[in-house]
Amino acid sequence: QVQLVESGGGLVPPGGSLQLSCVASGRAGNSGTMAWFRQSPGKEREFVAGIRRSDGATNYAGAVRGRFGISRDRSKNTVHLQMNNLKSDDTAVYYCAATSRNWIVSAIPDKGGYDSWGQGTQVTVSS
C-alpha cells in the first residue's frame, strides 16, 4: 500500500502562485503514474495534471495548461505541482493520486486508474 501526503495549499490572491507537493511512502517504488485532481463544492473530482514517473511524460487539463507545471523528484518519491497565474476557478481541494501502473499519456486523466489517494490540501484563490 502506498501512502500519499500533500502539502503546500493555502490562500493566494488572483494572479498569484503556489506549489503543491506530494510525498509517496510505503510500497511506492520509483515507477508508476502520479497525478493531481481537484474538487470544489458541488462538483465532481476532476483531473488537473499527471506524470509518468519513469520517463516524465505528462498530461494536463485544458483549464490549467500553460499555467500549471507538474514535475517529479524520483529520489525523494515526490511530485510537485507548480501553479501560476491562479484564478478564482482554481479554488478547490487538491488531491494527489498514485498507481503502480505506467499509464499511456491519454489514460493519465482517468481517476479510476489510481488506487492510492491523499487526504487533500485546500487551495483558495481570493482577494
- pLDDT beyond 70 at 29: no
Indicate the pairing of strand 10-12 with strand 121-125. parallel
Backbone angles phi and psi of 5, in degrees to 5: -130, 120
> What cell was used for 81?
505541482
Give dist(CA 34, CA 17) in Å, integer: 21
Output the pLDDT for position 76: 80
* Digit-coded pLDDT (tens) for 79-108: 999 999 999 999 999 999 999 999 999 999
**Residue from 9, 3, 17, 6 nearest 84 by CA:** 17
With a CB cutoff of 8 Å and minimum separation 6, the contacts of 112 are none
The pLDDT score that the predictor gives to residue 28 is: 63
